[in-house]
Chain A
Amino acid sequence: MHQKPIEQLIEETINSFDGAKRAEVKPFLLTRIFARIQAEPATDNIWTKAGAFLSRPSVALAGILLIILVNVAIIVSNSNDNNNTVQQVSAAKDEFAINVISIYDTENLEP
């Protein structure tokens, strides 16, 4: 074999499948197929389908991302609301001249 030119060897290799027989599967395939069909969970149920859809990595990741975005949005909007509330309180305080007078201030009023 090691005396042939490479071209001939290549041609022989490409034709080496010629005359090949079909590979045969091991016996009792049918039994294994029926066992597998019986073991498969029912996929007709809507909840099974929904579960399968939600457990896809892309869907699960998109869901997690959405939850994170909603949380961030709520935190940002809450911090804006807090600023507004502080501003409103200080505006009301200024408008009605609400000042807390401590006991020391009262005492200091007396000459």
Chain B
Amino acid sequence: MDPTEIIARLKEGDGAVFTEVVERWQHMIYNTAVSIVQQEEDAEDITQDVFVTLYEKIKEFREESALSTWLYRITVRKALDHEKRKLRHKRGGFLQRIFSVNEYEEPVNFDHPGIVLDNKEQAAVLFKAIKKLPEKQRVAFTLHKMEGLSYQQIAEIMDTSLFATESLLVRSKNNLKKILQDYYQQNYKP
């Protein structure tokens, strides 16, 4: 089935096509979400949320980009919104922290299930470092490295130019090098 037909049938509310779309893109969405939020349960919630949005808002999709690009955009936006909500909750939860024992704690290390075993330790350090990058650099780097997307695809998802995307990726790598330099100077003795 070609993409135009998929979208047309989704707009008609075809359940079989919706099922096909979920099965086709579920891992792509989950992997993007989990790489950004670095929490498996949260990423699963976001994945569900993305498909619920697809189901409800498909009629508003203007087909100016590919369906996968649109899904990536929704995923990135929801993942970032989720992080902001969590951060607000964390900052505003002072009184809650005093009276509650079930305090929210940021995981120390994130173990992405798809990382090669030999790289697990360094990948955990990299995930921590990525969290310190500015939002756009973080998204561009994650999409490039974890989803293997090209600069052009990232530019479409982030609604920016190819040049700006290249620049974002160069800056993200430079910033990561600085962050890692600091980290290893404190935690590693050659």
CB distance from B185 to the nearest CB of A (A): 7
Q: Is A22 in contact with B190, judged by CB distance below 8 angstroms?
A: no
A-B contact pairs, 20 of them (CB 8 A): A2-B188, A2-B190, A5-B190, A6-B185, A9-B180, A13-B129, A14-B173, A14-B177, A16-B125, A19-B116, A20-B145, A22-B114, A24-B30, A25-B47, A29-B48, A33-B52, A36-B48, A37-B55, A37-B56, A40-B56
CB distance from A11 to the nearest CB of B (A): 8
Taken together as a complex, chains A and B put the C-alpha atoms of A14 and B188 apart, in Å, by 16
Count residues on chain A whose CB falls below 8 Å from chain B CBs.
Answer: 29
What does DSSP make chain B's interface, helix, strand, loop or mixed? helix
B26 beta carbon closer than 8 Å to chain A: yes
B62 beta carbon closer than 8 Å to chain A: no
Q: Is B22 in contact with A6, judged by CB distance below 8 angstroms?
A: no
What does DSSP make chain A's interface, helix, strand, loop or mixed? loop
Q: Is B123 in contact with A29, judged by CB distance below 8 angstroms?
A: no
Cβ < 8 Å to A, chain B residues 1-59: 19, 22-23, 26-31, 34-35, 40, 43-44, 47-48, 51-52, 55-56
Q: Is A30 in contact with B30, judged by CB distance below 8 angstroms?
A: no
Task: Check A20/B114 contact, CB under 8 A, given A14-B173, A36-B48.
Answer: yes
Max count, chain A CB within 10 A of own CB: residue among B51, B125, B185: B51
B100 beta carbon closer than 8 Å to chain A: no
A56 beta carbon closer than 8 Å to chain B: no
Chain A positions within 8 Å of B, measured between CB atoms, are 2-6, 9-10, 12-14, 16-26, 29-30, 32-33, 36-37, 40, 43
